[in-house]
Amino acid sequence: MIKALLMDLDNTLLDFDKCEEYALIPVLKKYGIEANEDNKKYYSKVNLSYWKKLEKKEITREQVITLRWEEFLSHFGLKGNGKEINKIYFDCLKEGGYPLEGAIEFLKAASKKYKIYIISNGMKEVQDNRIKVSGIRPYLDKIYISQELDMVKPDKKFFDYVLNDINLNREECLVIGDSLTSDIQGAINSSIPYILFDRYDKNRDFNGPRCTKLDDLMNVINNL
């Protein structure tokens, strides 16, 4: 029997794509880079590649923060201090608490039946404030951020820590997230039931429970 939902935050409950685009604008402006779709998509691609390396433990979190900006700027023949650039970016990013369509409604309904825990690979200062300004905090029982735990999804240790802390068995929990490599792989590594939140409907061949709209998520959970 499911008693708790272990939910990813970015692009599962909050719109990280929108948040990222908003936070990128002052950086582009500072370096005279045109804020067009191609340049924004290029940053997203670079950024994601470094987070994937972190998931594989190939680099540190601090390297993610600095190296992504150095690679991004080098594409335009520019140089900059990664930490300084990141401060500009984070100051905007942490204000971007944009709930996805149906997120508040889902949390209201789900919190009456389940304990809800956030499991995020994001940065604590950013995620804490985004959760606060988004209005979703009242529906959450606890927040687990990998930076605080010094463990990163999909590492089984991250999920084992959460399970031990909430004092529940694996079969009593359900992982819900948008990332195949961190959320779903982590759930598989830890033998925890899961649902892929496939917001952009990109993984139609996924061999497992999948949902594309938060409006439908409760039905998917109930039918497991």
Task: Dump pLDDT digits (tens) for 50-98.
Answer: 999 999 999 999 999 999 999 999 999 999 999 999 999 999 999 999 9
pLDDT at 95: 95
Q: What are phi and psi of 94, to 5 degrees?
A: -70, -10
Tell me, what's the pLDDT at 103?
A: 98
Catalytic residue among 10, 15, 155, 183: 10
Per-residue pLDDT reduced to its tens digit, 190-207: 999 999 999 999 999 999
Decide whether 4-15+99-222 matches 16-93 in CATH topology.
Answer: no
Selected from 3.30.1310.10, 3.40.50.300, 3.20.20.190, 3.40.50.1000, the CATH number assigned to the domain covering 4-15+99-222 reads 3.40.50.1000
Q: Which CATH code fits 16-93?
A: 1.10.150.240
Percent of the chain at pLDDT > 90 equals 99
Instruction: Give me the percent of the chain exceeding a pLDDT of 70.
Output: 100
State the average pLDDT over residues 144-173: 97
Place 44 in a pLDDT band, splitting at 50, 70 and 90. Answer: very high
pLDDT for the residue numbered 45: 95
Of 106, 124, 137, 142, nearest to 4 by C-alpha is 142
Closest CA relative to residue 152, chosen from 183, 126, 192, 178: 183
Domain segments of the chain as ranges: 4-15+99-222, 16-93
Per-residue pLDDT at 153:
97
Q: 15: buried, middle or exposed (CB in 10 Å: 19+, 13-18, 0-12)?
A: buried
Is 8 one of the annotated active-site residues of the chain?
yes
- 153-162 pLDDT, tens digit per residue, is 999 999 999 9
Average pLDDT, the chain: 96
From 8, 15, 155, 178, active-site residue:
8
Q: Is the pTM value of this prediction over 0.75? A: yes
